[in-house]
Structure 1
Amino acid sequence: MHLGWPDPLRARTRRRYDAAHFRRARENSRLPELPGGDRMQRLFRLSALLAALLLILAACSSNTGGSSPSGSAASSGDPTAVCAADKFGCVKVASGDKIEIATALTITGSTSSLGLDSVTGVQVAIKDRGQVAGHDVDLKSTDAGCSNAQDGQTDAQSLVADPQIVAVIGTSCSRTAVPAMPVLAAQGYLMISPSNTAPSLTDPSSKDFGGPFYMRTAYNDKVQGAAVAKFACEVLTVKTAATIHDGSPYAQQLQQVFADQFKSQCGGTITAQEAIHVGDKDFHPVLTTIGAAKPEALFFPIFDPEAPLIVQQSRDIPGLANTKLISADGAKDDTFISSAGPLAQSLGMYFSGPDLNFGSTYTDKFLPEYKQIAGKDPTSVYHAHAYDAANIIFDAIEHVGLKDSSGTLYIPRTALKDYARGVKDYKGLTGTLTCDPNGDCGASFVSIAQLKPDASGKLAFQQVYTTRSAS
């Protein structure tokens, strides 16, 4: 069988190395002939052919991640050479030591429901996975905040001071991701966010672009903004709307996508686009300005504690008495329910966010494990996205990691990033994930929910609309 490549020995000598040649060589040899010589020769050639075919099949086999380390160092499997060839070197994990990963999320203050929810998702992933490349996994949970961008940079600086951290799951909020990303990237630390959604983070033309060491399992708010506009146009059938943002990349960009899509999808009119400051407590002036035009809908994708205050103070504005209130995933948590849940329920308020209909594995396995670890049901909406982020990191470690004779594991940082960013058709808890060249990997289904009592009488976010059924 001809396998399609030239025989270099035959090409150099122009001689025929066939069975007759080898028989003549054997007959001229002074060594005694072995029994069954022809049969052994045929077996030898068949074995060589099978070995070549196995190499071809191995080279052509596919995986769900990106490329392996390239070059002669990687192909040699020599950890020292691979680490020397990697710009950022390797994380070395001695035999018996734990692999360290970190979360950089908002875990204190008014937005802690969002971050702690994601931390639990990572903890479930660690529990489910067991060992990674023969090592237990240790989680370092840090507070990157949400409302103050500087907190993201400070937290990132503390993380890169620890050379044993393999990768980071974070941040919760796009505002803190912007200053954190360059600090981590400069040292070759991969960061995967479960809940950053601002379009600018994966836009190469933006100053906020995360670069090659950043990716996310959450959707891009180009998707969420368009979905909210579609819901407002087609389900609520409103023709006028106003927006409020808090100046963060997340809120400012999401409300802008909504505004643009509201105009383009149904010819809607945006009556006002107002901004507030994080930390403000009196929103009557802004709401009075918006209420003057009596918009049919008000979209305010902001966080706690500002979101509940806007709902409460909107009742004091006559021009907003009949306005439909819509917020987003930044307020879709237990903190909002505690602050303004009953009022929001009575007003029929809407909340956008990821579609959490992830199937039986999520409902029958993940959620019970989550409750076992956290002691309660999920407090926000990005726990499954954090679970997927952790498992992508674990897969990458197992794919690119090398061991020496002592059992020490070497994890090359650039190769780890390349594999994770190259994820394609990855069967995650949130759906089938494929990363684009800029780091967007998340499933794109968006849902709209309202607050309603669950079976126990407790207020909970219950889905009333999803783009999954509309797709």
Structure 2
Amino acid sequence: MRARRALSISLVLAFILALGAACQQAEGPGQAGPSPTPAAPAFQPPQDEIGVVEIKPGEPIVLAGALVIAGPDAALGTDSMRGIEIAIDDLGGELLGHKIELIKEDTGCNPEGGQAAATKLAANPKLVAIVGTSCSSEARVMAPVINDAGMVMVSPSNTAPDLTDPTKHVEAYLRTAHNDKVQGKVAAEFAFNFLKVKKAATIHDGSLYAEQLANVFAEEFKKLGGEVVAQEAVGPDDTDMRPVLTRIATQQPEIIYYPIFTKAGGFVTRQSKEIRGLENVKLMGADGLFSPDFVEAAGDAAVGMYLSSPDVTAFGSGYQDFVAKYEKKYGEKPISIFHAHAYDATMMIAEAIEKVAVEGPDGTLYIPRKALRQALYETANFQGLTGNLTCDENGDCADPKIAVYEIVSADTSGWPDQVVKKVYP
């Protein structure tokens, strides 16, 4: 009897619990139930302390090439501009679904040209980044302007140590070109150890590049045990170099190192052959003279002289493919020496843009400027044409490989293979 009563009570309790559950499921609005899914937060464009470039659907990503593309040193900048263009070709002409637009500004290879180009470029709010400049003196005046505008620039051919000196470096500035602390040392070692000369003279043209490179060469030459018997200067537009060369001749140097540019370099080279006492002196320039334009300006007097410059034979495996593209696109082989550095600078910028760009729900692309700079400084082990690039805190990104070439012919129709040959190392 008690067992039946207990069973009845259990059945009643089970019925009540089931009924309660059913009633709870049937409760209407306002009663306790599953929590609703929270709405997704509205899209917020990225914030950046120095600005954000906003690129709407259908608008291009704007880059600039700020290089010397006119005048006697045009080969230097034109060669680099072509490196930029081939990089853009290899990117398919677009980035993150936006066409790449390239603005070309001539910088003149002088401070005045650099200032004019900087002022114009800094006024363009759509400009994302700059590949440039060609000459160090341009960069010294351009970099502060570009920095103040919140932009960033990567030079393919500035080599003056001053530009990445920690006490003078401007945040907006980086380079894929070597630091002339490297080039000057190699040039001095070549002169002292390979040519076996013990007395040297230098000439610069007052530019940041030439003066600092000549000074590095002189310091390194003296460290090796050599004597620097003269350190002279000429103007970039001077045509009569005989007074300077005559003074140098009185000191009886065995080599003259003049890392200057095409116009003045041509006059120094030709007129040195006219000066008594310099008949057997060895002549040596640097990468600012590495072009068929210089060989034409100097003529036969250039044959037998030496040029310190980047070592193209040590570039990455993709370099020969690049040269083939260059020749197909422009109908000639590279006309100077920094084309691959410009290619690498462009590709570094493209990679940094891809890292920091944010796309909004409507397709608008946002590129934060400070973040873009930071991404460039964080470049590490970047496999470029010129080597394995890693940027330091002062903007030096190069994997520097310097060689010395001898000019063996004045016939520039065979440039470069029949005109210059690598002799060191």
TM-score category (smaller protein): 0.7 to 0.9
Deviation of 1:462 after TM superposition, in Å, equals: 1.8
Residue equivalent to 1:313 = 271
Code of the aligned partner of 2:399: A
- Are the counterparts in 1 of residues 273 and 301 from structure 2 also a CA contact under 8 Å? no
> Gapped runs of 5+ residues in structure 1?
1-29, 33-75, 467-471
- CA deviation vs aligned residue, 1:81-133 (integer Å, no higher than 9, x gap): x23xx122211111122111001100000000000000000000000012211
Query: Residue in 2 aligned with 1:225?
Result: 184
Residue 139 (1) aligns with residue 105 (2): no
Contact residue 296 and residue 412 of structure 2 kept, 8 A: no
Structure 2 unaligned runs (5+)? 1-19, 23-40
1:284 maps to which of 239, 242, 251: 242
Cα offset, 1:201, TM superposition? 0.3
Report sequence identity in percent: 45
Q: Show CA shifts across 1:343-400 (max 9, x none).
A: 211xx1000111112143111x201111222221111000000000000110011110
Opposite residue 335 of structure 2, the aligned amino acid is: T
Give the structure 1 partner of residue 138 of structure 2. 176
The runs of 4+ residues in structure 1 deviating greater than 3 Å are: 76-79, 453-459
Give the number of aligned pairs. 383
CA shift digits 1:304-341 (9 cap, x unpaired): 10001101000111111111000000111121021124
Assess, with a 3 A threshold, how the Cα gap between structure 1 residues 287 and 410 changes in structure 2: closer, same or farther.
Answer: same
Is residue 326 of structure 2 the alignment partner of residue 367 of structure 1?
no
Partner of 2:300: 342
- Quickly say closer, same or farther: Cα 1:160–1:318, change in 2 above 3 A: same
Partner of 2:5: none
Give the aligned partner of residue 108 of structure 1. 70
In the TM superposition, residue 457 of structure 1 has moved relative to its aligned partner by 5.0
Aligned position for 1:200 = 162
Q: Give the conservation status (yes or no) of the 8 Å contact 1:181–1:210.
A: no
2:208 corresponds to which of 224, 249, 256: 249
Aligned to 2:64, what secondary structure does the other structure show? Answer: strand
User: What is the CA–CA distance in structure 2 between the aligned matches of 1:243 and 1:127, rounded to whole Å?
Assistant: 42
- Would you say the 8 A contact 1:79–1:410 is kept in 2? no
After superposition, give the CA deviation of every residue in 1:185-227 in whole Å (9 maximum; x if it has no partner): 001110000000000000022xxx3411100000000000000
SS in 1 for 2:104: strand
**Distance in 1 (alpha carbons) for counterparts of 2:406 and 2:21:** 89
Following superposition, the deviation at residue 460 of structure 1 comes to 2.3
What SS class does the counterpart of residue 73 from structure 2 fall into? helix
What displacement does 1:256 show? Answer: 0.5
Q: Do the aligned partners of 2:292 and 2:412 also contact (CA within 8 Å) in 1? A: no
Q: Which amino acid aligns with 1:135?
A: H
State the match for 2:28 in structure 1: none
Residue 4 of structure 2 corresponds to: none
Contact 2:317 2:385 in 1 (8 A): no
Match status 1:118 vs 2:101: no
CA contact 2:316–2:387 (8 Å) conserved in 1 = no
Q: Deviations over 1:422-446 (max 9, x none)?
A: 1111111100011111001111110
Residues 79 and 88 (structure 1 numbering): CA distance in 2 closer, same or farther, change over 3 Å? farther
Secondary structure at the aligned position of 1:273 is classed as strand
**Residue 221 to residue 79, structure 1, CA distance change in 2 (3 Å):** farther
What residue in structure 2 maps to residue 20 of structure 1?
none
Residue 252 (structure 2) pairs with residue 294 (structure 1): yes
Given candidates 209, 233, 258, the residue that maps to 1:275 is 233
Residue 399 (structure 1) aligned to one of 348, 355, 367: 355
Q: Aligned-pair RMSD on alpha carbons?
A: 1.8
Structure possessing the higher radius of gyration over alpha carbons: 2
Deviations 1:132-164 (A, max 9, x none): 112121111111111x31210110010011111
Cα distance per residue 1:156-185 (max 9 Å; x no partner): 010011111100011100011111010000
